[in-house]
Amino acid sequence: MAYRDTEKTRSKREEIRTRILQATHELVVSGGFRNTTIQAVSEQAGIATGTVYKHFPSKAELFSEVFRRATQKEVDKVAQAIVGQENVLLRLQRAIRCFAHRAIQSRGLAWALIAEPVDPVVDADRLEFRQAYAALFSDLIREGIAKQEIPLQSASVTSAAIVGSLAEALVGPLAPPPPTLQTNDRTLPSQQTEDALIDNIIRFCLQAVTGCAFIEDQHK
Protein backbone atom coordinates (compact mmCIF):
# COMPACT_ATOMS: atom_id res chain seq x y z
CA MET A 1 0.00 0.00 0.00
CA ALA A 2 1.06 3.49 0.37
CA TYR A 3 2.41 6.62 1.85
CA ARG A 4 3.44 6.55 5.43
CA ASP A 5 5.24 9.56 6.88
CA THR A 6 8.89 9.33 6.10
CA GLU A 7 11.86 11.56 6.68
CA LYS A 8 11.74 13.11 3.25
CA THR A 9 8.03 13.76 3.54
CA ARG A 10 8.26 15.40 6.89
CA SER A 11 11.23 17.54 6.02
CA LYS A 12 9.59 18.84 2.89
CA ARG A 13 6.46 19.68 4.79
CA GLU A 14 8.53 21.45 7.40
CA GLU A 15 10.37 23.32 4.74
CA ILE A 16 7.22 24.69 3.15
CA ARG A 17 5.78 25.57 6.48
CA THR A 18 8.92 27.44 7.33
CA ARG A 19 8.90 29.17 3.99
CA ILE A 20 5.36 30.39 4.65
CA LEU A 21 6.36 31.71 8.06
CA GLN A 22 9.40 33.44 6.66
CA ALA A 23 7.49 34.99 3.79
CA THR A 24 4.87 36.28 6.18
CA HIS A 25 7.49 37.63 8.52
CA GLU A 26 9.20 39.49 5.70
CA LEU A 27 5.96 41.01 4.49
CA VAL A 28 5.00 42.04 8.00
CA VAL A 29 8.36 43.67 8.57
CA SER A 30 8.07 45.72 5.44
CA GLY A 31 4.37 46.47 5.38
CA GLY A 32 2.76 45.51 8.65
CA PHE A 33 0.03 42.93 9.16
CA ARG A 34 -2.64 44.94 7.46
CA ASN A 35 -0.99 44.81 4.07
CA THR A 36 -0.07 41.19 4.34
CA THR A 37 -2.63 39.17 2.39
CA ILE A 38 -2.63 35.43 1.93
CA GLN A 39 -2.17 36.03 -1.75
CA ALA A 40 0.96 38.07 -1.11
CA VAL A 41 2.27 35.47 1.30
CA SER A 42 1.83 32.63 -1.14
CA GLU A 43 3.42 34.65 -3.90
CA GLN A 44 6.38 35.51 -1.72
CA ALA A 45 6.73 31.89 -0.68
CA GLY A 46 6.38 30.66 -4.26
CA ILE A 47 3.35 28.48 -3.62
CA ALA A 48 -0.39 28.56 -4.24
CA THR A 49 -2.84 30.26 -1.91
CA GLY A 50 -4.52 26.98 -1.12
CA THR A 51 -1.26 25.51 0.08
CA VAL A 52 -1.11 27.98 2.91
CA TYR A 53 -4.27 26.39 4.25
CA LYS A 54 -2.71 22.94 4.14
CA HIS A 55 -0.28 24.23 6.77
CA PHE A 56 -2.27 26.75 8.78
CA PRO A 57 -5.96 26.63 9.63
CA SER A 58 -6.51 30.32 9.04
CA LYS A 59 -4.86 33.61 8.39
CA ALA A 60 -5.31 34.59 12.00
CA GLU A 61 -3.48 31.49 13.18
CA LEU A 62 -0.65 32.07 10.74
CA PHE A 63 -0.31 35.66 11.86
CA SER A 64 -0.47 34.62 15.45
CA GLU A 65 2.40 32.21 15.03
CA VAL A 66 4.49 34.77 13.19
CA PHE A 67 3.76 37.29 15.88
CA ARG A 68 4.60 34.94 18.70
CA ARG A 69 7.87 33.88 17.13
CA ALA A 70 9.07 37.42 16.51
CA THR A 71 7.89 38.45 19.92
CA GLN A 72 9.53 35.60 21.75
CA LYS A 73 12.84 36.47 20.22
CA GLU A 74 12.58 40.03 21.46
CA VAL A 75 11.52 39.03 24.94
CA ASP A 76 14.39 36.54 25.12
CA LYS A 77 16.90 39.19 24.21
CA VAL A 78 15.68 41.50 26.92
CA ALA A 79 15.54 38.66 29.44
CA GLN A 80 19.11 37.86 28.54
CA ALA A 81 20.17 41.45 29.08
CA ILE A 82 18.56 41.42 32.50
CA VAL A 83 20.38 38.47 34.02
CA GLY A 84 23.55 39.03 35.98
CA GLN A 85 24.98 39.58 39.39
CA GLU A 86 25.37 43.32 39.06
CA ASN A 87 23.11 45.72 40.88
CA VAL A 88 19.51 45.90 39.77
CA LEU A 89 19.70 49.36 38.28
CA LEU A 90 22.49 48.47 35.97
CA ARG A 91 20.62 45.43 34.77
CA LEU A 92 17.46 47.46 34.30
CA GLN A 93 19.40 49.93 32.27
CA ARG A 94 20.86 47.19 30.12
CA ALA A 95 17.42 45.74 29.49
CA ILE A 96 15.96 49.05 28.45
CA ARG A 97 18.87 49.79 26.20
CA CYS A 98 18.48 46.40 24.59
CA PHE A 99 14.78 46.91 23.96
CA ALA A 100 15.28 50.40 22.60
CA HIS A 101 18.20 49.53 20.41
CA ARG A 102 16.40 46.66 18.77
CA ALA A 103 13.23 48.67 18.26
CA ILE A 104 15.16 51.40 16.53
CA GLN A 105 17.11 48.99 14.39
CA SER A 106 13.98 47.39 13.05
CA ARG A 107 11.25 49.95 13.13
CA GLY A 108 8.91 48.15 10.81
CA LEU A 109 8.91 45.10 13.00
CA ALA A 110 8.69 47.13 16.19
CA TRP A 111 5.68 48.96 14.86
CA ALA A 112 3.93 45.77 13.82
CA LEU A 113 4.62 44.12 17.17
CA ILE A 114 3.88 47.06 19.41
CA ALA A 115 1.54 49.52 17.80
CA GLU A 116 -0.09 48.38 14.59
CA PRO A 117 -3.82 47.80 14.70
CA VAL A 118 -4.27 44.06 14.39
CA ASP A 119 -7.11 41.63 14.51
CA PRO A 120 -8.36 40.34 17.84
CA VAL A 121 -6.53 37.01 17.73
CA VAL A 122 -3.18 38.68 17.26
CA ASP A 123 -4.13 41.40 19.68
CA ALA A 124 -4.51 38.78 22.36
CA ASP A 125 -0.96 37.66 21.62
CA ARG A 126 0.16 41.23 21.96
CA LEU A 127 -1.34 41.46 25.40
CA GLU A 128 0.74 38.48 26.42
CA PHE A 129 3.75 40.02 24.77
CA ARG A 130 3.48 43.19 26.79
CA GLN A 131 2.77 41.22 29.90
CA ALA A 132 5.91 39.21 29.31
CA TYR A 133 7.97 42.38 29.28
CA ALA A 134 6.14 43.77 32.26
CA ALA A 135 6.77 40.53 34.13
CA LEU A 136 10.47 40.76 33.38
CA PHE A 137 10.65 44.28 34.70
CA SER A 138 8.47 43.72 37.69
CA ASP A 139 10.52 40.73 38.84
CA LEU A 140 13.60 42.84 38.60
CA ILE A 141 12.01 45.67 40.52
CA ARG A 142 10.85 43.37 43.26
CA GLU A 143 14.36 42.05 43.52
CA GLY A 144 15.67 45.59 43.76
CA ILE A 145 13.20 46.43 46.50
CA ALA A 146 14.15 43.32 48.44
CA LYS A 147 17.83 44.15 48.17
CA GLN A 148 17.05 47.74 49.12
CA GLU A 149 18.62 48.98 45.96
CA ILE A 150 15.45 50.83 44.99
CA PRO A 151 12.67 52.30 47.10
CA LEU A 152 9.43 50.53 47.86
CA GLN A 153 6.85 50.91 45.09
CA SER A 154 4.18 49.03 43.19
CA ALA A 155 6.18 46.78 40.92
CA SER A 156 3.22 46.11 38.68
CA VAL A 157 2.39 49.75 38.06
CA THR A 158 6.02 50.71 37.61
CA SER A 159 6.69 47.95 35.14
CA ALA A 160 3.58 48.70 33.11
CA ALA A 161 4.58 52.34 33.00
CA ILE A 162 8.06 51.44 31.84
CA VAL A 163 6.72 49.31 29.02
CA GLY A 164 4.38 52.14 28.08
CA SER A 165 7.07 54.77 27.97
CA LEU A 166 9.30 52.57 25.87
CA ALA A 167 6.54 51.83 23.43
CA GLU A 168 5.41 55.41 23.09
CA ALA A 169 8.81 57.04 22.98
CA LEU A 170 10.15 54.58 20.46
CA VAL A 171 7.24 53.73 18.24
CA GLY A 172 4.80 56.55 18.83
CA PRO A 173 6.89 59.32 17.34
CA LEU A 174 7.41 57.13 14.33
CA ALA A 175 5.17 57.96 11.47
CA PRO A 176 3.04 54.82 11.58
CA PRO A 177 3.43 53.63 8.00
CA PRO A 178 0.26 51.65 7.73
CA PRO A 179 -1.42 51.69 4.33
CA THR A 180 1.25 52.30 1.75
CA LEU A 181 4.79 52.55 2.98
CA GLN A 182 4.93 56.26 2.72
CA THR A 183 8.08 58.24 2.07
CA ASN A 184 9.90 57.68 5.28
CA ASP A 185 11.52 61.12 5.25
CA ARG A 186 10.57 61.98 8.80
CA THR A 187 13.36 60.44 10.84
CA LEU A 188 13.63 60.50 14.59
CA PRO A 189 11.99 63.45 16.29
CA SER A 190 14.14 66.51 15.97
CA GLN A 191 17.27 64.84 14.67
CA GLN A 192 18.03 63.07 17.87
CA THR A 193 20.64 60.50 17.37
CA GLU A 194 19.79 57.01 18.44
CA ASP A 195 22.08 57.13 21.43
CA ALA A 196 20.73 60.42 22.66
CA LEU A 197 17.19 59.14 22.41
CA ILE A 198 18.05 55.99 24.26
CA ASP A 199 19.88 57.90 26.97
CA ASN A 200 16.88 60.13 27.46
CA ILE A 201 14.58 57.18 27.81
CA ILE A 202 16.89 55.48 30.23
CA ARG A 203 17.18 58.58 32.34
CA PHE A 204 13.42 58.88 32.41
CA CYS A 205 12.88 55.30 33.50
CA LEU A 206 15.69 55.06 36.02
CA GLN A 207 14.71 58.29 37.63
CA ALA A 208 11.12 57.17 37.73
CA VAL A 209 12.17 54.05 39.56
CA THR A 210 14.77 55.46 41.93
CA GLY A 211 14.73 59.20 41.91
CA CYS A 212 18.16 59.36 40.35
CA ALA A 213 19.92 58.05 37.29
CA PHE A 214 23.51 57.20 36.56
CA ILE A 215 23.71 56.21 32.98
CA GLU A 216 26.39 53.64 32.34
CA ASP A 217 28.09 54.27 29.08
CA GLN A 218 28.04 50.88 27.56
CA HIS A 219 26.52 51.42 24.20
CA LYS A 220 25.71 48.33 22.21
Q: Which residues would be at the binding site for a copy of itself (CB under 8 A)?
A: 34, 117-120, 123, 127, 130, 153-154, 156-158, 160-169, 172-173, 176, 178-179, 189-190, 192, 196-197, 200-201, 203-205, 207-213
Is 187 among the residues that bind DNA (CB under 7 A)?
Answer: no
Q: Smallest distance from the beta carbon of 34 to DNA, in angstroms?
A: 9
Q: Smallest distance from the beta carbon of 36 to DNA, in angstroms?
A: 7
Return the number of other C-beta atoms located less than 10 Å from residue 55's C-beta. Answer: 18
Angle at 156 between CA 152 and CA 159, to 5 degrees: 95
Choosing among DNA, a copy of itself, none, which partner's interface includes residue 192 (Cβ < 5 to 8 Å by kind)? a copy of itself
Choosing among a copy of itself, DNA, none, which partner's interface includes residue 215 (Cβ < 5 to 8 Å by kind)? none
| Secondary structure class of 172 (helix, strand, coil) | coil
Is 117 among the residues that bind DNA (CB under 7 A)?
Answer: no
Choosing among DNA, a copy of itself, none, which partner's interface includes residue 12 (Cβ < 5 to 8 Å by kind)? DNA
Q: Smallest distance from the beta carbon of 138 to a copy of itself, in angstroms?
A: 10
Q: Restricting to residues 16-45, name those near DNA by CB under 7 A.
A: 16, 37-39
At residue 93, φ and ψ (nearest 5 deg) are: -60, -45
Choosing among a copy of itself, DNA, none, which partner's interface includes residue 168 (Cβ < 5 to 8 Å by kind)? a copy of itself
- Distances in Å between the Cα of 5 and the Cα atoms of 8, 14, 144, 203 are 8, 12, 53, 57
Pairwise CA distance, residues 45 & 153, whole Å: 50
Tell me the HSE value of 123 on the side-chain side, using a 13 A CA sphere: 7
- Distances in Å between the Cα of 173 and the Cα atoms of 95, 106, 123, 145, 188 are 21, 15, 21, 33, 7
Return the number of other C-beta atoms located less than 10 Å from residue 2's C-beta. Answer: 3
Choosing among DNA, a copy of itself, none, which partner's interface includes residue 135 (Cβ < 5 to 8 Å by kind)? none
The residues binding DNA (CB under 7 A) are 1-4, 6, 8-9, 12-13, 16, 37-39, 47-51, 53-55, 58-60
